[in-house]
Structure 1
Amino acid sequence: MLLDCRMGWAMCSFSVALCFCAFAFIIITSLIQFTSQKIKNYKAPFPLDAEKETIDGNGFPKVKEANLCNRRRFLLNKQMGDIDDDKVKPKRIVFVTVGTTCFDALVKAVDTEKVKETLSSKGYTHLLIQMGRGSYLPTKSDGEDGSLVTDYFSFSSSIADHLRSASLVISHAGSGSIFETLRLGKPLIVVVNEDLMDNHQSELAEELAERKHLFCAHPQTLFQTIAGMDLESLIPYPPGDATPVAKLINKFLGFPDE
């Protein structure tokens, strides 16, 4: 009798334990399925490029390290109040350079409201002017009213960094500035200084404009050039192509074009 009671109690305990294990198995399986579904449906909360997200072998989305760094920087700036969701715009700089000369006519032309408004309407956000030895001081702006953020300086030990960061370059017709900008693959508007006695720079700019490597303008036509420019029409300048320079030298020496 005592043995039968012990056997019955053991069987009952075994049945309860078996039921508990089955119940725990069902709960764990459901959690795994729920988590897997969430991972499969996961989308990056702030994709910063146009690439399609892919899933790795563990079911997690692949995100570039650079994107993660950009996202962390963005969120940090947002938490500090430096970024407003409604005002996030990519920084696009227009860099104006006159070299070591005095070219107030170009600086004045760029400093007009209609030129600034046209640049802003084309998506540019900043205007930086290197004014050289000029006496005309352009108007600074912090851009709080939605206009271009505008600043200027006279000289720099090197303008290479400004050229590299620019989305559009407006330059005098100096050959050094022209070829450095073209080498960097930047869209370029060359403005001819009509006050200079030697006009060979004008001929170089016009030759390169005819080949569609850049746009050529004068101070009084700069607004029309900016308003009507189509950057897609520009052709990259081939590195090492000396044809425009050779053609200019031939013209200067009086040799006929071949």
Structure 2
Amino acid sequence: MTTSSRKVCFVTIGATAPFDALLSNVLDQPFLEALKKHEYTTLLIQYGKEGQAIFDTFTKNNPSGSPGRYDLDIQGFSFKSEGLMQEMRSTKANPAQKVVEGMILSHAGSGSIMEALRIGVPLVVVPNPALQDNHQEELARQIAKNGWAVVGKLDRLTESVQKAEKLRISSRSWPPRNSGALKDSRGLAGVVEDELGFLD
């Protein structure tokens, strides 16, 4: 990656249930350091309705250019009624604009996961342990089992960055070469679009 290239990590906390633990962890030194190590330049966070205080405290304590930002351009917003597709697409490679492929880190809401899978970049899914039932955990485990995403753990979030890089490599071989007539060059993203009837 050249020094002028852009590599985006987009984090979505969700719009309904607060997930302060995830927000705090992505703004913590180990995660930011891991992003820098893997040549990310931008951290874009959708911090939800209740996360602004955490985000504002971080930016106040770590103004632009300070060591605590690890040379990352860190931006955030609470909610967008039109959805998050534009932000998710900012993680896709765009050689004309010197953008290299980044990653999406998402809470384990089914809507966010399905949108992220359409993009076709590495996806890390972090279930919210504060929720009463375990449907997020079950969903995250299943998509990881299928090789479509990485399940992130709050106490080991830095590992997710490395696992996302490995997923980037392995996903490029999907579908398997021995899959006969199944030769969809759009990979998993194309299958998701076809199965769910998405039209762009």
* Shared fold (TM-score, shorter chain, > 0.5): yes
Contact 2:10-2:87 at 8 Å conserved across structures: yes
Change (3 A) 1:91 1:214: same
Contact 1:98-1:171 at 8 Å conserved across structures: yes
Is 1:92–2:7 an aligned residue pair? yes
SS at structure 1 position matched to 2:104 = strand
Structure label with greater radius of gyration: 1
2:54 paired residue among 137, 151, 163: 137
Q: Percent identity?
A: 35
2:103 paired residue among 151, 168, 192: 168
Is 1:205–2:140 an aligned residue pair? yes
For residue 148 of structure 1, what is the aligned residue in structure 2?
Answer: 72
TM-superposed CA distance for 1:143, in Å, is 4.5
Which structure features the higher share of helix residues?
Answer: 1
Deviation digits for residues 63-84 of structure 1 (CA, Å, limit 9, x no counterpart): xxxxxxxxxxxxxxxxxxxxxx
For residue 20 of structure 2, what is the aligned residue in structure 1?
Answer: 104
1:65-76, aligned counterparts within 5 Å?
A: none
Q: Which runs of 5+ in 2 are unaligned?
A: 92-101, 175-186
Q: How many residues of Structure 1 are paired with residues of Structure 2 in the alignment? A: 156
TM-superposed CA distance for 1:133, in Å, is 2.4
For residue 123 of structure 1, what is the aligned residue in structure 2?
Answer: 39
Q: Which amino acid aligns with 2:64?
A: D
1:114 paired residue among 16, 21, 30: 30
Highest relative contact order (Cα 8 Å, sep 6+), 1 or 2? 2
Deviation digits for residues 171-194 of structure 1 (CA, Å, limit 9, x no counterpart): 000011101110111211001100
For residue 232 of structure 1, what is the aligned residue in structure 2?
Answer: 169
TM-score, normalised by the number of residues in structure 1: 0.56
SS at structure 2 position matched to 1:137 = helix
Which shows bigger deviation, 223-232 or 91-100?
Answer: 223-232
Q: Which runs of 5+ in 1 are unaligned?
A: 1-86, 243-258
Deviation digits for residues 109-134 of structure 1 (CA, Å, limit 9, x no counterpart): 10111111111111110001111123
TM-superposed CA distance for 1:219, in Å, is 1.2
SS at structure 1 position matched to 2:71 = coil
Deviation digits for residues 175-228 of structure 1 (CA, Å, limit 9, x no counterpart): 111011101112110011000012112111110101110000121121122234
